[in-house]
């Protein structure tokens, strides 16, 4: 009996390792497109379509990167648009969402719960149902083709308000009540007591917002037409057309630069990214 | 001010209300401007014929009738539903299988590797990964066909044949998104009570019985969540298709989101495009509520 138990446990261990080995192979396959992307970006243009494809960069030659920056496509300008939009939207959401979340979680005022409900309804609507009026409105106010116009429409989000509010509700109220007794104003309480405790929620929201904004395509494609107003995901599609067949290596060098910020964030804050994106499951 | 507030509760309450409205003001104004008002306007526009010169004129349900009687738009509607069905089934199914396989003790570096491998595609824009996959899927110069030929198989016209293009997009979509569902399933599996599993092992329950009688019922709310979440995303599919096939060959991969953009900003059929967005939104709401209703039958909370 005892020895049989040991034996099954030993078999189970082998099965475990077998499964992990199979998963490791699948994992390597999952990474293939990324390996190929970076490897291609270091390949001489002439070798771009040489088969078999290399998944490990043959050299570390930055010629293609320099070529992208020197090309007719205003790559740096486009990059700067993406950075501006992502940073503005991230900062904007951190401010507006935490302020609103504080009010919804901590203050009582007439209509609070109905207003919160109205904001939550926003989670149901896809971008496709808001894009036409926003386009028409932007066309009339001159916001069309302005990178900052795209940022403007994302300065708040129902998801962000909801996320921060959930965090706030789980915090003890005692400190705030004590501060109120001492005569502190609500903004002071928010700034000095609530905010410092919210650091995990804020980093999660910040990371989700930054990566999402960096990746926006649908809205950016509709609202930002000329080359130097574009953001990276949209421009990449155009770059592909420009640099075309022979210059695959150059397109991949541009792509590598475009995905770099998100990959860096992921490598540095892996756990936080996964928690954050998992939480964002509520909204696409 | 503070002493008065402390002495008079009604003044305190008023101050709190004032602060409350001030705190939600920025968020709420932006929300009204960029979400709620546009939703209402789209809904109204969907009943109009709208052009830039004459403005909008009320046409009743004409746009919706046009959508439901036009063969092309029905084909596109069907494409979207088909894509959603397969993308959701495989994303959630493969995600669960991977999660089951990874839900075991392992060294930290392996955990790190698996997170990296399965989650990187999730956080990279579909626009970026579609460009890379576009080259993988190439007919003559594509990486996949190169290996198929080397292994002695016939090359496949991944994106240039209307019978395979949709499948190719779904394969890429599963590669990109299944890691998300895997992570959520892993979190759920870690919540399965260990003592019940141990008891089942002691009683000699085999793997399938443990899976179907304990794990499945326990994680059913999460399965339900993943299906709803995956459907909402898949119904809106846009950039993967635009970049891989532009909706072609023919209309074989065109989705409703593409139709909306083409009608509204290509042909300036604003009213018609608005009605297509309303249909899309309604379908998303219907799927969500159907799944809510269905879940009452099989989800054990």
Burial of residue B300, with CB atoms counted within 10 A of its CB: 0-12 exposed, 13-18 middle, 19 or more buried: exposed
CA distance A123 to chain B (A): 10
* Per-residue pLDDT at A7 exceeds 60: no
Which of A53, A104, A233 is nearest residue B24 as measured by Cβ atoms? A104
B178, B91 Cβ separation under 8 angstroms: yes
pLDDT at A246 over 70: no
Q: What is the pLDDT of residue B268?
A: 87
Please tell me the predicted confidence (pLDDT) of residue A214: 94
Q: Is A48 touching B (CB cutoff 8 A)?
A: no
Other C-beta atoms closer than 10 Å to the C-beta of A72 total 8
pLDDT in tens, A139-184: 999 999 999 999 999 999 999 999 999 888 888 888 888 888 888 8
Alpha carbon distance B82, B173 (integer Å): 13
* Distance in Å, alpha carbon of A68 to nearest chain B alpha carbon: 16
Q: What are phi and psi of B228, to 5 degrees?
A: -60, -50
Q: How confident is residue A244, by pLDDT bands cut at 50, 70 and 90?
A: low
Say whether pLDDT at A42 is over 60: yes
Q: Residue B49: what are its φ and ψ, rounded to 5°?
A: -100, 125
CA angle B31, B123, A263 (to 5 degrees): 120
Mean pLDDT is lowest, of A84-93, B48-57, B169-178, B253-262, for: B48-57
Chain A: closest CA distance from residue B4 (Å):
10
Question: Does the distance separating the beta carbons of A258 and B232 come in below 8 Å?
Answer: no
* Mean of pLDDT values over B224-236: 91
The answer on pLDDT for A117 being more than 60 is yes
Q: What percent of chain A has pLDDT over 70?
A: 92
* Residue A194 and residue A168 in contact, taking contact as beta carbons nearer than 8 Å: yes
- Band (pLDDT 50/70/90 cuts) for residue B8 is low
**Which of B127, B172, B276 would you mutate first to test chain A, the one with the most A CBs within 10 A?**
B127
Supply B292's token pair: 């809510």
pLDDT of residue B213: 86
Tell me how far apart the alpha carbons of residues B219 and B172 are, in angstroms, rounded to a whole number.
26
CB–CB of B6 and A251 under 8 A? Answer: no
Q: Which of A29-43, A122-136, A160-174, B3-17 has the lowest mean pLDDT?
A: B3-17
Which of A89-103, B47-61, B63-77 shows the lowest per-residue confidence on average (mean pLDDT)? Answer: B47-61
Q: Which region among A48-57, A152-161, A198-207, B167-176 has the lowest average model confidence (pLDDT)?
A: A48-57
- CA–CA separation, B22 and A164 (whole Å): 17
**Gap between the Cα atoms of B78 and B81, Å rounded:** 5
Nearest to A193 by CA among A208, A210, A207, A180: A180
Per-residue pLDDT reduced to its tens digit, B279-300: 999 999 998 888 778 777 665 5
Least confident of A13-22, A81-90, B242-251, B266-275: A13-22
Distance of alpha carbon A74 from alpha carbon A72, whole angstroms: 6
Look at B179 and A119 and tell me if their CB atoms are within 8 Å: no
Q: Chain-centre distance of CA A53, in angstroms?
A: 30
Q: For A67-87, how does the pLDDT look when each residue is reduced to its tens digit (9 = 90+)?
A: 888 888 889 999 999 999 999
All residues of chain B having their beta carbon less than 8 Å from the beta carbon of residue A95 are: 26
Is the per-residue pLDDT at B192 higher than 90? no
Residues 93-122 of A with CB under 8 A from B: 95-97, 99-100, 102-104, 107-110, 112, 115, 118-119, 121-122
Residue B1, burial from CB neighbour count under 10 angstroms (0-12, 13-18, 19+): exposed
At A63 the pLDDT is 86
Taking an 8 Å cut-off on Cβ atoms, the answer to whether B265 and A135 are in contact is yes
Does pLDDT of B121 surpass 50?
A: yes
- CA-based nearest distance A186→chain B, Å: 7
| DSSP states of B37-58 | HHHHHHHHHTTEEEETTTEEEE
Name the residue facing B280 among A128, A190, A263 (closest C-beta). Answer: A128
- Mean pLDDT, rounded, of chain B: 89
Cβ neighbours for B30, distance < 8 A, ≥ 6 positions apart: A96, A153, A155, A156
> Is the reported ipTM for this assembly greater than 0.90?
no
Res A216: pLDDT: 92
Angle CA B31–A211–A221, to nearest 5: 70
> Is the pLDDT confidence value at A94 over 90?
yes
CA distance B189 to A42: 42
> What is the C-alpha to C-alpha distance for residues A23 and A17, in angstroms, rounded to an integer?
10
> What's the rounded Cα separation, in Å, for the pair B14 and A110?
10
**Which residues of chain B are within 8 Å of residue A16 when distances are taken between CB atoms?**
104-105
d(Cα A215, Cα A256) in Å, to the nearest integer?
14
Q: Do the Cβ atoms of A254 and A40 come closer than 8 Å? A: no
Is residue A206 within 8 Å of A157, Cβ to Cβ? Answer: no
Contact A250, A258 (CB under 8 A): no
Q: What is the pLDDT of residue A280?
A: 66
Give the pLDDT score at A284. 38
pLDDT of residue B35: 95
């Amino acid at each position: 009996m005892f020895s049989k138990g040991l034996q099954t446990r030993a078999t189970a261990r082998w099965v475990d390792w077998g499964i992990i080995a199979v998963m490791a192979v699948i994992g390597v396959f999952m990474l293939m497109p990324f390996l190929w992307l970076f490897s291609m970006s270091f390949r001489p243009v002439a070798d771009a379509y040489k088969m078999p494809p290399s998944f490990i960069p043959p050299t570390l030659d930055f010629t293609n990167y320099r070529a992208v920056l020197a090309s007719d496509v205003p790559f740096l300008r486009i990059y700067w648009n993406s950075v501006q939009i992502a940073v503005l939207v991230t900062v904007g959401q951190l401010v507006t969402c935490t302020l609103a979340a504080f009010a919804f979680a901590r203050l009582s005022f007439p209509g609070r719960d109905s207003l919160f409900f109205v904001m939550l309804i926003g989670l149901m609507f896809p971008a496709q149902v808001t894009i036409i009026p926003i386009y028409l409105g932007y066309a009339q106010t001159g916001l069309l083709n302005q990178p900052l116009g795209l940022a403007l429409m994302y300065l708040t989000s129902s998801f962000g308000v909801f996320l921060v509010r959930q965090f706030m509700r789980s915090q003890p109220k005692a400190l705030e009540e004590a501060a109120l007794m001492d005569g502190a104003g609500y903004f002071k309480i928010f700034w000095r007591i609530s905010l410092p405790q919210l650091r995990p929620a804020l980093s999660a929201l910040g990371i989700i917002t930054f990566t999402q904004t960096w990746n926006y395509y649908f809205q950016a494609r509709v609202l930002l037409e000329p080359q130097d107003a574009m953001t990276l995901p949209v421009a990449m599609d155009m770059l592909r057309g420009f640099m075309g067949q022979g210059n695959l290596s150059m397109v991949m060098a541009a792509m590598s630069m475009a995905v770099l910020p998100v990959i860096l964030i992921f490598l540095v804050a892996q756990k936080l990214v996964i928690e954050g994106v998992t939480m964002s499951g509520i909204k696409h | 001010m503070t002493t008065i507030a402390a002495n008079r509760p009604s003044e305190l309450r008023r101050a709190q209300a004032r602060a409350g409205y001030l705190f939600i003001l920025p968020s709420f104004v932006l929300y009204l401007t960029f979400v709620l008002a546009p939703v209402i306007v789209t809904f109204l526009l969907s009943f109009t014929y709208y052009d830039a010169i004459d403005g909008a004129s009320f046409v009743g349900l004409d746009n919706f009738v046009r959508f439901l009687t036009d063969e092309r738009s029905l084909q596109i509607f069907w494409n979207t539903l088909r894509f959603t069905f397969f993308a959701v089934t495989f994303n959630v199914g493969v995600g669960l299988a991977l999660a089951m396989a990874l839900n075991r003790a392992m060294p930290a570096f392996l955990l790190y590797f698996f997170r990296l491998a399965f989650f990187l595609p999730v956080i990279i824009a579909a626009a970026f990964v579609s460009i890379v996959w576009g080259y993988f899927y190439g007919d003559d110069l594509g990486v996949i066909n190169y290996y198929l030929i080397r292994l002695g198989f016939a090359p496949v016209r991944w994106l240039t044949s209307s019978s395979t293009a949709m499948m190719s997009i779904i394969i890429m979509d599963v590669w990109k998104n299944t890691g998300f569902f895997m992570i959520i399933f892993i979190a759920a599996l870690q919540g399965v009570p260990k003592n019940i599993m141990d008891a089942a092992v002691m009683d000699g329950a085999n793997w399938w019985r443990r899976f179907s009688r304990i794990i499945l019922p326990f994680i059913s709310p999460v399965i339900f969540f993943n299906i709803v979440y995956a459907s909402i995303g898949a119904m809106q599919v846009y950039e993967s298709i635009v970049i891989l096939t532009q909706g072609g060959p023919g209309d074989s991969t065109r989705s409703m989101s593409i139709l909306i953009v083409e009608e509204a900003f290509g042909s300036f059929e604003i009213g018609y495009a608005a009605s297509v967005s309303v249909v899309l939104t309604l379908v998303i709401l219907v799927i969500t509520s159907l799944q809510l209703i269905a879940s009452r039958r099989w989800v054990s909370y």
